[in-house]
Structure 1
Amino acid sequence: MLDQETGLRGYNLNGLDEFLRPYQQGRADFGQALNDSRSAMEGDRNGQALLAEQAQISDEWRQLASVAVTQARLRDTVHADATGARQRKAVMDRFRIANTDYQRLIDERRESREAGLAWLSAGVVFALAVFFALLGAVVLRRQRQARRAARRREAAYVARQHDLGTGLQVARSEEEAHEVLSRHLELSVPGSDAAVLTRNNSENRLLLATEVPDDSPLTDRVADVEPRACLAVRLASRRHEGDAAAPSVLRCEVCGGLEGRADCSPLIVGGEVIGAALLRHPDPLSERQDRAVEESVAQAAPVLANLRNLALAESRAATDGLTGLPNRRSFEETLKRMAAQAGRTKTPLSALALDLDHFKSVNDTHGHEVGDEVLAAMGALLADLVRASDFAARIGGEEFVVLAPDTARDGAVALAETIRAAVREVAVPGVAQVTVSIGVASLPEDASTPSGLLRAADRLLYAAKERGRDRVEANLPVGESEPQPRITS
């Protein structure tokens, strides 16, 4: 409408047709703008009414404008401008008012849309805030749960390691400590089989220190094998066998080629390898399981070494260094224990007191080295002849004793005769003949106390010495006419 008004005013002032172009273009544009606005206001009665009002006013103005154009062309411009201008102005003022109302309606709709968009944006922002808040809460909750689970796992791990330490500390022997370590490793790695390997006292053989199933291939592999056959012992480092992802050119003779995976950790104390812990498992170790194996072996190694040293010291304290038999201290403790057992079970206990005949002359004639050979041969013979339940000891000089639990006097005499005959077969270079005198006494027939049993056997031994040596002496059974030593030869 402004374009039309401007063009018409210029044409009226100048009479040039070029000023009618904005007027004519304005009329075309107005029609298009009116159609666009009607489409935009579809369904809005207020908007359609305002557009209709503007269209009506526009038609009135265009009629007046057409008259003005015609009059201008007839050169009657002054009258036309004076009269028509006032009329057109009045119509245009009405149009401006109607258009202002229409613009206000448009602004209100725009503000409403903007307000809706603002609320929508706020809603979206709020929804996103709630979503991310909930997501953050879920993430934090899961993190807290993960931390709690990690703390529980760590607490369980620490408790299990503490249990291992307690078990090792209260173990009464190296063998029991081996079993504690083996069970702990199996509990740390479910589904696994653990075994502890150790060196023998001379350190020239590798031995199974824990029990394994009868069908275990380790039984044959460890039989009579040197320590160097185990790569973990030889290299003093942890070894993994059966891992296809990390094959090695070296193969362990002990665990190489076993079904599944094998993890072998050396037991190192002060730079010395005293054995190894072998763990067989079907699946790869987790980080926590790997840590458990490494720390458990490191924790157990010094305890095992201490128990071994303690056992060795106790063995040396209770063992005769020349014959390898228990010494007098060990004998006295064993005698008390066996006598107490016999009293509780109401079973007999027999004692054999042995003394090598003419041993002083052997030392005087052949020297103490030869005498030591005779004593060592006597110790080896007794160790071979007595039963596993019997007890043989060297209690001083050329004196020996054998305790035979659950053995009556007649059985003990038979054992004594076997020993006496075997001693006569002992051959020591330079010594013509070795013989022994033996006294046999039994609980409860010959004594009622442990010390009384030993004194009774000693008296009968002295009787054997006095009656010619190389003989066995025992009291006659109760009920005979004269209780006196029975002589056998």
Structure 2
Amino acid sequence: MALNALAAGAAILLTGAAAHAAAGTALGCSTFILAVGRVASRRAVDEMAQHLRMFNTAQDTTRQIEELFAMTDMLQAAEDHDEAGAVLMAASQRLLPDFDGALYVFNNSRDRLDLTKSWGGKDKPEPAASLLPSNCWAVKRGKAHINDAENGTLCCMHPVGPGVSVEMPMMARGQVFGLLILTHYQRDAYENLRDMRRIARALTDSMSLALSNIALREKLHTQSLRDPLTGLYNRRYMEDSLERYISLAERTGSATSVLMIDLDNFKRLNDEYGHAKGDAVLRDVAGQLVGALRPSDVVARYGGEELMVILPNCSIEDATAKAEMLRMRIENLSEVHGAPISASFGVACVPETAGNTADVVPVADAALYAAKEAGKNRVVASRRRIPREDASPPCLAVNA
């Protein structure tokens, strides 16, 4: 373009010079040459400057595209929200260095957005630890929303801080998985937010797909480990956990106890009240067990109406006491469901009543069978194999 301008200027220069030479005006010819040369030079410089600006813009666009491709590639390897948030933070700081950011992701019950990652200036206010979806216009509308109180925009009901922020919902397959908030504290913040919306939308789209994939993987992982009716762990996970806990107990010298639980007369309950009632009872029993035990304890559905609990770092005496407490909680469900509900418990412990992983389940099952034979709705502890001076009687039985 600059060469074309120079060529045009040269043509004008020669034509004008020739005309003035023919007229015999040498001084006018010189003046004309200088004037036309200055015009052509200015035009060439302007076109060269415009070309340079276009070149720089193209370079910036290419760099942004490369950054987005690199971010997308990294997100495919992210296994959880924390890793995905770290990738988003790194890309955002390179592409939008003047903006603070915060990433929120829905919790499992989808009633709250929890802060996963935040970045920006140290002197700026910390983002809220969680947000309610009902307080966010971006989440409710499924569209980007700008909060700028000074310019009179409609702001979200959750805390938005002193700066101007744009909130971008992360959507995939028609569902919102998270929220990206970018905040600008400098002058002309509103215009800057409008200018960077294209990059913000690209960041949000890539992150939306990543969050969707993570949610899908977590769902498949949960389905492979959990019983769909009760939400308890399945037998496969229970067996792996039991082996792991007992191996750890052998190294540390601690005890690991096992409770085998069987709901009494469950077939009669299904026959008299229907299978829907039986399913509801199983779910409520599972809730009672999980609600009364420690987070480190493992509650699993062993099969049918039979459940199993692994109690790490728990002696046979403590496990028996916990079993009695659980028995009473299950029996109290009778009033809720208007039907007789009870359970029998068998208790075993490594190393006190069983030697290893292969022995502890059969030993606990034998104690459960003894509880059934003794009249049901009771707790029976297996016989101790390691004698101690303060040892309890060989069989601990607690009648209803």
| TM-score (normalizing by structure 1) | 0.61
Residue 267 of structure 2: aligned partner: 360
The correspondence for 1:282, drawn from 182, 185, 189, is 185
> Counterparts of 1:229 and 1:360 in 2: how far apart (Å)?
48
Summarize the Cα distance change of 1:483–1:416 in structure 2 as closer, same or farther, 3 Å threshold. closer
Give 1:476's aligned amino acid.
R
Kindly state the Cα deviation for residue 209 of structure 1 after the two structures are TM-superposed. Answer: 4.7
Give 1:368's aligned amino acid.
H
The correspondence for 1:231, drawn from 117, 137, 156, is 137
Summarize the Cα distance change of 1:372–1:480 in structure 2 as closer, same or farther, 3 Å threshold. same
Kindly state the Cα deviation for residue 179 of structure 1 after the two structures are TM-superposed. Answer: 5.0
Give 2:381's aligned amino acid.
E
Give 2:396's aligned amino acid.
I
Residue 254 of structure 1: aligned partner: 158
After superposition, give the CA deviation of every residue in 1:230-249 in whole Å (9 maximum; x if it has no partner).
2112222211112745x43x
Residue 381 of structure 1: aligned partner: 288
> Counterparts of 2:100 and 2:362 in 1: how far apart (Å)?
53
Give 1:375's aligned amino acid.
L
After superposition, give the CA deviation of every residue in 1:380-428 in whole Å (9 maximum; x if it has no partner).
1011011011111112111111112222333322322221232232233
> Counterparts of 2:238 and 2:372 in 1: how far apart (Å)?
23
Q: Does 1:478 align with 2:381?
A: no
**Aligned CA-pair RMSD:** 3.9
470-479 vs 302-311, which moves further: 470-479
Residue 218 of structure 1: aligned partner: 128
> Counterparts of 2:202 and 2:348 in 1: how far apart (Å)?
56
Structure with larger RCO (C-alpha < 8 A, sep 6+): 2
What secondary structure is seen at the aligned counterpart in 2 of 1:210? Answer: strand
Summarize the Cα distance change of 1:161–1:339 in structure 2 as closer, same or farther, 3 Å threshold. farther
Give 2:205's aligned amino acid.
A
Unaligned runs of 5+ in 2: 1-25, 120-124
> Counterparts of 2:316 and 2:98 in 1: how far apart (Å)?
54
Is the 8 Å Cα contact of residues 354 and 385 (structure 2) preserved in structure 1?
A: no
Give 1:335's aligned amino acid.
L
270-279 vs 191-200, which moves further: 191-200
> Counterparts of 1:173 and 1:315 in 2: how far apart (Å)?
14
Summarize the Cα distance change of 1:217–1:146 in structure 2 as closer, same or farther, 3 Å threshold. closer
Is the 8 Å Cα contact of residues 256 and 313 (structure 2) preserved in structure 1?
A: yes
> Counterparts of 1:334 and 1:156 in 2: how far apart (Å)?
48
- After superposition, residues 67-106 of structure 1 pair within 5 angstroms as none
Is the 8 Å Cα contact of residues 256 and 315 (structure 2) preserved in structure 1?
A: yes
> Counterparts of 1:193 and 1:343 in 2: how far apart (Å)?
50
Q: Does 1:428 align with 2:332?
A: no
After superposition, give the CA deviation of every residue in 1:177-222 in whole Å (9 maximum; x if it has no partner).
345435543554346443333445565x242251569x846347x2
Summarize the Cα distance change of 1:194–1:411 in structure 2 as closer, same or farther, 3 Å threshold. farther
Give 1:254's aligned amino acid.
H
> Counterparts of 1:366 and 1:485 in 2: how far apart (Å)?
39
After superposition, give the CA deviation of every residue in 1:118-139 in whole Å (9 maximum; x if it has no partner).
9xx9xx98xx99xx8xx97xx9
Q: How many residues align?
A: 353
What secondary structure is seen at the aligned counterpart in 1 of 2:396? Answer: strand
Identity score, percent: 29
- After superposition, residues 141-290 of structure 1 pair within 5 angstroms as 151=59, 157-158=64-65, 160-174=67-81, 176-182=83-89, 184-186=91-93, 188-190=95-97, 192-200=99-107, 203=110, 205-210=111-116, 216=126, 218-219=128-129, 222=131, 225=132, 227-242=133-148, 244=150, 247-248=152-153, 250-254=154-158, 257-283=160-186, 284=189, 285=192, 290=197
Is the 8 Å Cα contact of residues 381 and 397 (structure 2) preserved in structure 1?
A: yes
Give 1:239's aligned amino acid.
H
Summarize the Cα distance change of 1:295–1:210 in structure 2 as closer, same or farther, 3 Å threshold. same
Structure number having the greater helix percentage: 1
Give 2:397's aligned amino acid.
T
Bigger Rg, structure 1 or 2: 1
